[in-house]
Structure 1
Amino acid sequence: MIRYALKCTEGHRFDSWFQSAAAFDKLAGAGMISCAVCGSAEVRKDLMAPSVSASESQAVTAPAPPERPERPLSAPAHPAEQVLRRMRAFVEKHSENVGRNFVQEARAIHAGEAPARPIHGQARPEEARKLAEEGVPVAPLPFDPEAKSN
């Protein structure tokens, strides 16, 4: 396992663990790493100090890392991230995840063919645009409900 300090194009910094350097490169190349604060998929490695272990007789002092408050990796780094976590928890608790059936289910609810209830799921941008043009009330979520956090 390897831990990287990451930074998005908006300047938000966060840490994440990866199985290997190759795993990071593969996920980053596929756009599967996103900023925990703003959701941007434009994420790159940030400057970080190496972790060096040595015996007592070979004490090695690594250079000080850039100024960043210490926090557990699971703790939000920014107030916006806290809001997004609360929003995600609310959506997951109070709506049904219909996954990839979102477009069909949203149309059925709008037409009165399925019981009215809050739902969330996945739709391609062009599908969501068509739903909105048809008068089906939809809105994008500022997070991916399918993504699992560590």
Structure 2
Amino acid sequence: MIIFDLICADGAHRFEGWFGSSQDYAEQQERGLLDCPVCGSKNIAKAAMAPNVGRKGNQEPSAAKPEDNRSGTQASKPVANTVAVPAEYKEMIGKLVKAQEKLLANSEWVGDKFAARARDIHYGDAEEKPIHGTASKEDVADLAEEGIAALPLPIPMLPPESKN
């Protein structure tokens, strides 16, 4: 798999294209199968990749030197996929994380055996204690039908075996 930075010459929209090989890219380009996901233009070319670009990607196009624009297309503007999060939300999430950590500190990780362990505890076949792990939607629905409480964690977490 190879990833190319692509740009449409009509609107100067930059985007990624994933191809099996350089040959796949060339064939799709030749057959007119590539189009801009923003404006639909078929006038697509490979954009200069990071190792060949002299300016930083977060600079305004006016800061770019003319020699940095070798493709002859209009320079693209910096784009971000981040959203400004209000301070109150950050504080609230932080409190949720701490509360969940405190809750899980006294709970046993059972991994993908959560449904079976919850049943064992519910029916008295295992010691009653807090557990956490993973379960499919179907498993959780089956537990609910049996009257066994199981709730999703508010904050996603990494299983202990996945941590460094």
Give TM class, smaller chain. Answer: 0.3 to 0.5
User: TM-score when scaled to structure 1?
Assistant: 0.47
Question: 1 or 2, which has the higher helix percentage?
Answer: 2
> Rg larger in 1 or in 2?
2
